[in-house]
Structure 1
Amino acid sequence: MTPLIHVVEDDTDHRLALCDLLEAAGFRAEGFAGGSAAMAAEARPDLVITDLRMPGMDGHAVLSAALERDPDCPVIMISGHGDLPQAVQAMRAGAEDFLEKPYDGMHLVTVIERALRGRAARAEIGRLQDSMTRTEGGGLLGQSAAMTTLRDRIAALAPTEIDIVVTGETGTGKELVARALHAASPRAAGPFVAVNCAALPETLFEIECFGHVAGAFPGAQDKPGKLEAASGGTLMLDEVEAMPAALQPKLLRALQERSVERLGENRLRPLDLRIIATSKTDLRSLTLDGTFRADLFYRLAGAEIAVEPLRALGDDILLLFSHYAGLAAARYGRPLPEIDYALKQSLLRRPWPGNVRELKALAERFALGLDMPEGPAAAPAEAESLADRVAAFEAREIRLTLERCRGNTERAARSLGMARRTLNDKISRYGIRV
């Protein structure tokens, strides 16, 4: 429904002109000559614009009454007197913004749109708070194009039986996406089993994934592996790019045949499962240098989902921060501090190398009233020379290649097509930790 805006202004000409401007911008507008009439109106507005100095109820009284009636209603105050102390008082009392006459009409529309987006975001938090508390699903909350696309992608793929690869930087919520796919699938009543391919030692990987029978080794009892445990549900292979090369063909065979042979026995046990693999690097590129088997990749990647980094989500950063701060405040039994304008700007400028995981930790510190460390400032692109941008790209590619090669500089040098000594020089120059 088109948002309704109440305009409280005792100047008739200005009130009518402002209503015309708002309706031309696509809003519904209703004008009132005084605050009392506005507060007595039957229709509840989505936003209020009020003059500061009026007979009877002034702008401060309108602000107070509007917030008492609807604490989440944005109020924009307008004054022709340029009174800075009044503006500060209004903002502290909860006004969304304070504009001085004469103001730019397009700027006012921008302020209104921003305020309404913020209100919609807070409403979404309220609607989803209970379910988010149960599932810690804050990573799928948001109104940005990236989050909308991600939810649509999940909704389209979840009902299918195809295996999926989910890629994204560390801390972007790849496991959350995997759980959402499972929860929205016909397998939701079945188990969701996660295997951390990076944390499981190679010597134990086969036993943990494929299981074993009694007598397979001294003291062994019958034990199903992770693949069997996930039968009827979903198996998540977390950080699949770290899977030991020697085990990749064994997993490939199990997935192709949808059956598993436990250690110590010679019969196949059927599997009924769906695979969701997550990776913080592009698996397709890993197949080019032989780090990851191409045939295993194509078996896993029936479809692919890319999760955007937090820094690409715009105002969703504020929504997620508010969500996690609210959860933390409730958990510790503390009132949620105000997220003021300065903090909002700081959050939007932060580069978030740790993504949602970093944001969650920062939100908890905020809810507890602790000092929040400043993040590294994101340098504006125009401040960097071409040489700086080339160096940054080269350092990033070297880091990713070293990560794919698990720190093996000889393999990394071959993959990058340079001498090992040259690579070592660049590692030293860029301060890269191997």
Structure 2
Amino acid sequence: MTALIHIVEDDADHRAALCDLIEASGFEARGFASGEAALAARPGPDLMITDLRMPGMDGFALLDAVKARAPGLPVILITGHGDVPHAVRAMRMGAEDFLEKPYDAAHLLAVVDRALRAAATRAELGRLQSELLRKDGSEILGRSAAIEALRARIAALAPLDLDVIITGETGTGKELAARALHLASPRADGPFVAINCAALPDSLFEIEMFGHVAGAFPGAQDKPGKLEVASGGTLVLDEVEAMPPAAQVKLLRALQERQVERLGENTPRPLDLRIIALSKTDLRRLSLDDSFRPDLFYRLAGAEIALEPLRALGDDIALLFTHFTGLTARRYGRPPPEISYQFRQQLQRRPWPGNVRELKALAERVALGLELPDAPAVAQDAPQTLTEKVAAFEAREIRAMLERCRGNTERAAQALGIARRTLNDKITRYGIRV
């Protein structure tokens, strides 16, 4: 669907020229001579471009009215040369960007495109957060190629009644992926039962997994095991690589025959369930050296899913961080924290050994004010030599200017008084993400 852009400009010639430029670029444009007329127009736009100095309602008043009515609507200001301090004030009020007259048409269109993309990202984040809240956290959040591939894999496997092995580092969301598989499957209305194989001592594992009947041992009453409880739904075996060898033998038999015998009886009970095994290590490799029974591995591995670590998800790291800070802020009735451009870049450079679990913990601390979002996120050795100190200062100034210019390298180069090519070379040299 073509984006609708409102042009608010009291100069009729400039307004007409802007509308022609916007429409020639594939967007739909509507021009207005005043802010009052733009506010009264229906339907509302996807983006607004407005002059700062206008009779009656000026750009500040229009921006304030727009943000009160539609906080997510991007507004781009056009300012005269002497209005730059006012433009900075407008940015603090929520303007998406500003252009100084005279401006380059290609630059204007690049700003428009970036603003529309940013608005779409914010809207998508809001939608995903709503979905997450509605689906008890079972929705998988992210826009990277790895997350899109994971969603496609889950969508393909969910309707198939296959047992699945999900492998990934600690904290990558293996149980979240398992729950998504369950909810997208024909078994969604059945039970979802999870057992951590590493949390139970060997002596209790078989009782918990297979159950027992009254009299099986002193004081025993009838109790179904996890296999029976999950019948009709999904059983998740977390840290399956820690399952005791004796239990592996009994589980293999139960899966082969799809029936289970409780401890103390000889009557088989039918099972109708899907097994999803979670492992932080490569079960295939463990099966080769008999650390894990090969026959059980091949019984469980009807299909396999490998989860990427958080450090491989790129821009999704900041997306997830914003999601978790928002959830925490709402839970405690606090305003969500402002996350700077520089801090988002720092998030992407962290190694994240604890993956999403570590990210969530940091996001909660930031949302509660226990840690500043502009605090250094990557420990670095302090520069010692003069050359190192100059380089650190230069890198810090470049990052700060990119933050102020919203990542626009052309404007940042102008503000720093250097050529754009020189700035790009320094960005590459210092490993700055734009």
* Letter paired with 2:378: P
The answer to whether the 8 Å contact 2:349/2:378 transfers is no
Separation in structure 1 between the aligned mates of residue 153 and residue 280 of structure 2, nearest angstrom: 19
Separation in structure 1 between the aligned mates of residue 60 and residue 289 of structure 2, nearest angstrom: 66
Q: Which residue of 2 aligns with 1:375?
A: 377
Separation in structure 2 between the aligned mates of residue 287 and residue 376 of structure 1, nearest angstrom: 38
* Letter paired with 1:146: A
Q: Which residue of 1 aligns with 2:300?
A: 300
Deviates more, 1:207-216 or 1:224-233: 207-216
1:304 match: secondary structure: strand
Q: Which residue of 1 aligns with 2:72?
A: 72
C-alpha deviations, 1:243-293, integer Å up to 9, x for none? 234432332221111112222333322211111112223333333333333
Deviates more, 1:171-180 or 1:354-363: 354-363
Q: Which residue of 1 aligns with 2:177?
A: 177
Q: How many residues align?
A: 379
Separation in structure 1 between the aligned mates of residue 349 and residue 14 of structure 2, nearest angstrom: 37
Separation in structure 2 between the aligned mates of residue 138 and residue 210 of structure 1, nearest angstrom: 28
Q: Which residue of 1 aligns with 2:223?
A: 223
State the 1:361 CA deviation: 1.9
Deviates more, 1:251-260 or 1:315-324: 315-324
Q: How does the TM-score come out when normalised to structure 2?
A: 0.76
The answer to whether the 8 Å contact 1:139/1:320 transfers is no
Unpaired segments ≥5 residues, structure 2: 382-434
Q: Which residue of 2 aligns with 1:285?
A: 285
* Percent of residue pairs bearing the same amino acid type: 73
Q: Which residue of 1 aligns with 2:418?
A: none
Alignment of 1:256-275 (within 5 A): 256-275=256-275
C-alpha deviations, 1:58-80, integer Å up to 9, x for none? 33233222212311101122334
Q: Which residue of 2 aligns with 1:426?
A: none
Change (3 A) 1:178 1:30: same
The answer to whether the 8 Å contact 1:139/1:172 transfers is no
Alignment of 1:15-414 (within 5 A): 15=15, 18-81=18-81, 83-101=83-101, 108-127=108-127, 129=129, 131-133=131-133, 135-137=135-137, 140-372=140-372, 374-376=376-378
State the 1:228 CA deviation: 1.2
* Letter paired with 1:240: V
Separation in structure 2 between the aligned mates of residue 169 and residue 20 of structure 1, nearest angstrom: 53
Q: Which residue of 2 aligns with 1:393?
A: none
Separation in structure 2 between the aligned mates of residue 291 and residue 26 of structure 1, nearest angstrom: 61
The answer to whether the 8 Å contact 1:163/1:302 transfers is yes
Q: Which residue of 2 aligns with 1:387?
A: none
State the 1:116 CA deviation: 2.9
Separation in structure 2 between the aligned mates of residue 293 and residue 83 of structure 1, nearest angstrom: 73
Q: How does the TM-score come out when normalised to structure 1?
A: 0.76
Separation in structure 2 between the aligned mates of residue 280 and residue 203 of structure 1, nearest angstrom: 23
2:200 match: secondary structure: coil
The answer to whether the 8 Å contact 2:194/2:238 transfers is yes
State the 1:230 CA deviation: 0.7
Separation in structure 1 between the aligned mates of residue 345 and residue 18 of structure 2, nearest angstrom: 29
State the 1:340 CA deviation: 4.2
State the 1:136 CA deviation: 4.3
